Amino acid sequence: MALAFLKAWGCEVTAFSTSPDKEAEARKLGAHHFISTHDKDALKKIKGTLDMVLDTVNASLDWNGYLATLRPKGVFHIVGVANEITAKVGVLMGQQRSISASPTGSPRTIRDMIEFAARHDISPMVEYFKMDKVNEAIDRLENGKPRFRVVLER
């Protein structure tokens, strides 16, 4: 969803993923650039080029590597639930970079986002499963197979 929102806002978007096979989808959703984080040098190649990094994942990251991708005064913003951040203060201080975080949003913010999504024809990618296929849905979840969201329906 973030890719589609950023595209609609007119941003130049770089998507990061541990799964190189997600590149085509990321580009379809609005990414102009794609970085496979399995490439150990990928973050170094874009050092100092990004204004903002939006972290939507609940995973441990190469914090210093991601912070180094920011331009001076760039912001690393977290909306995923990171358990711990380990970063060198010098990576932040020397270029006046910052780390921020926020929850999903207030009811007003959520309403604004829904209205924006409607205006720009943005909708979530969802896999639907009938209730009698709940075990298949759970199996896909346990094996990391769903691309985005899984919804059970009657």
pLDDT in tens, 30-47: 999 999 988 889 999 999
Q: What is the pLDDT of residue 82?
A: 72
68: closest CA among 37, 95, 86?
95
Q: What is the pLDDT of residue 23?
A: 94
Q: Residue range 57-63: average pLDDT?
A: 86
- Radius of gyration from C-alpha coordinates of the chain: 17
What are the sequence ranges of the domains in the chain?
2-122, 124-154
81: CB partners within 8 A, 6+ apart: 58
Q: What is the pLDDT of residue 103?
A: 81
DSSP 60-108: ---HHHHHHTEEEEEEEEE-S--S-----HHHHHTTT-EEEE--S--HH
Task: Find the farthest-apart pair of alpha carbons in the chain and give their distance in angstroms, rounded.
Answer: 56
Q: What is the pLDDT of residue 13?
A: 95
pLDDT for 85 beyond 90: no
* Contact assessment for residue 80 and residue 99, using Cβ atoms and an 8 Å cutoff: no
Q: What is the pLDDT of residue 60?
A: 83
- Residue that has been written with the tokens 């639907």 in this structure: 128
Q: What is the pLDDT of residue 67?
A: 95
84: closest CA among 68, 104, 60, 67?
60
Q: What is the pLDDT of residue 39?
A: 87
pTM here is 0.81
pLDDT for 70 beyond 90: yes
Q: What is the pLDDT of residue 35?
A: 95
Q: What is the pLDDT of residue 3?
A: 92
Q: Residue range 89-100: average pLDDT?
A: 92
53: closest CA among 6, 110, 120?
6
Question: Which band of pLDDT confidence, cut at 50, 70 and 90, is reported for residue 92?
Answer: very high
Instruction: Report the DSSP beta bridge partners of residue 61.
Output: none
Q: Which CATH number fits domain 2-122: 3.30.70.260, 2.30.42.10, 3.40.50.720, 1.20.1250.20?
A: 3.40.50.720
pLDDT for 18 beyond 80: yes
